[in-house]
Structures are given as C-alpha cells and as structure tokens.
Amino acid sequence: MIHFLYLTGFAFFVAVAFGAFSTGSTREKTFYGLKIFGEFLVVSLVLAWIFYFLPW
C-alpha cells in the first residue's frame, strides 16, 4: 500500500509541475495537469498488473 501512496504523491507533484510549466490558459493548464496525473496512475497500474503475472 505504501508504494501506491508514493506513486500517487510522485504523480501529483509531477503533474503540478507539468501543468505549471505548460503554455495556455489556467483552464488548459489545469486540464493538462489532471490528464498527466491520470495517465501516470493508469499506466503504472497497468504495468503493475502485467508484471504481476511474469515469473521472476
């Protein structure tokens, strides 16, 4: 569970930074930051699900 909290925190801070440094209006920056946050979480969970079934 602690890994997921770290992942969520990292995704949040990266999304805030990407949104702040992007170009456009405040609404576009906010939408871009939310989109990046969601993409981080979805991609990470999909990769975790795939790696779960690989025999290491």
Q: What is the pTM of this model?
A: 0.85
Do the Cβ atoms of 12 and 38 come closer than 8 Å? Answer: no
Q: What is the mean pLDDT of the chain?
A: 94
CB 36 within 8 A of CB 14: yes
Share of the chain above pLDDT 70, in %: 100
Cβ–Cβ under 8 Å, residues 41 and 15: no
What's the pLDDT at 46?
Answer: 96
Q: How far apart are CA 10 and CA 23, in angstroms?
A: 22
Residue 2 forms part of a structural domain: no
Question: DSSP alpha helices (H): ranges in 1-56?
Answer: 2-21, 26-52
* pLDDT, greater one: 55 or 19: 19
Q: What is the pLDDT of residue 1?
A: 82
Is residue 37 a part of any domain in this protein? yes
For 12, the domain range is 7-52
Tell me if 1 is assigned to some domain.
Answer: no
- Predicted confidence at residue 6, as pLDDT, reads 96
CB 19 within 8 A of CB 30: yes
